[in-house]
Amino acid sequence: MATIQDQKFAQLGLQKATTSTKVVAYHKGLNNVNNNNPILVLLHGYPQSSYIWRHLIPLLRSNILFVPDLPGYGQSAPANEHDKVSIGLRVLEALKEVFASQNPKAESSPPIVLIGHDRGARVAHALHVSAGTSDILGFKITGIALFDIVPTTSQWAIGDTAAAQTGFFHWSFLANVRIAKEMITAYGGGKWALDMIDRWSGSNITGLENLKSGDALKVYSDFFDQESIIEASCRDYEAGATVDVERETEANKEGRKIVVPLLLVYSEAFLPKRARKPIVEVGVTDVPVGDGIGHFVAEEAPEVTAQALKKWLETLRP
């Protein structure tokens, strides 16, 4: 799995780095950062790895990229804390370390754009909202793009019907770490990952071919055959049912929200329309993706996603 991922990103012109905290990331262009060309930090979701960005990366040829495996996923070692803020800070610490290695004399705060799908999107959202500022660890967040999510508190709130609870059963199941880990391990972590991907993907034939191309299913299933990844991903959801909810609830009470330009790309088929209501009041560029595309928008519809992303990035130029 690691070999396939490493080889693909090398073919796409990315360098691999392993940081002191054992975060594995791929990057390019970090020595060319300026206000007109920020670092795009691509954060993947569940049950996957940074490999989800393989189609989008070649469509972002002129952009500067930092593409990590989230701590506990892919090749990255798990963190001690699994809440989204802690994970986000570890990712930015990894970026800071790699950026410094490429720019030993850099003094200014480099601009970054956080782009996340699924759990990675929740990391981006929580990191910015909890901090209450765009300046974090010496980086300046100039924009945030969220792919196919709603805020965590909103996600829990839509589970008030049998259909909703059935559709998102994994949220509460995975949050029960001990039993979920034991059951998934017995079932087969790789098989579980493939079942979830199949459950959340769309009906578009081309989209499904894109999703499966490049031995992607083997990459994801092989990673999830590792017990450490099963446990870390369950810890991720445990935090999503406890610390993350508590922090987001407090932020909502205090009126803290995303204050930088926000792009929302989502599957018309997958994301419930009524779950989008809590973010309507945020200044958001809203891009629905139809034609049977499912949850994995960056893989199933990379051209549409890249077009929306590049158009939005143009609006961020000072």
Average pLDDT, the chain: 93
CB proximity list for 169: less than 8 A, separation 6 or greater: none
**Residue 59, domain CATH:** 3.40.50.1820
Closest listed residue to residue 50, CA positions, set 101, 10, 80, 109 = 10
Closest listed residue to residue 124, CA positions, set 144, 150, 154 = 144
Q: Give the residue numbers spanning the domain of 205.
A: 2-315
pLDDT of amino acid 164: 76
CA-CA distance, 256 to 133, in Å (whole number)?
A: 10
CA-CA distance, 184 to 265, in Å (whole number)?
A: 30
pLDDT digits (tens, 9 = 90+) for 8-36: 999 999 999 999 999 999 999 999 999 89
pLDDT of amino acid 280: 43
Closest listed residue to residue 69, CA positions, set 127, 123, 142 = 123
> How is residue 104 written in tokens?
């030993």
pLDDT digits (tens, 9 = 90+) for 117-154: 999 999 999 999 988 778 899 999 999 999 999 889 98
What stretches in the chain show pLDDT beneath 70? 1, 107, 159, 272-283
How many structural domains are present in the chain? 1
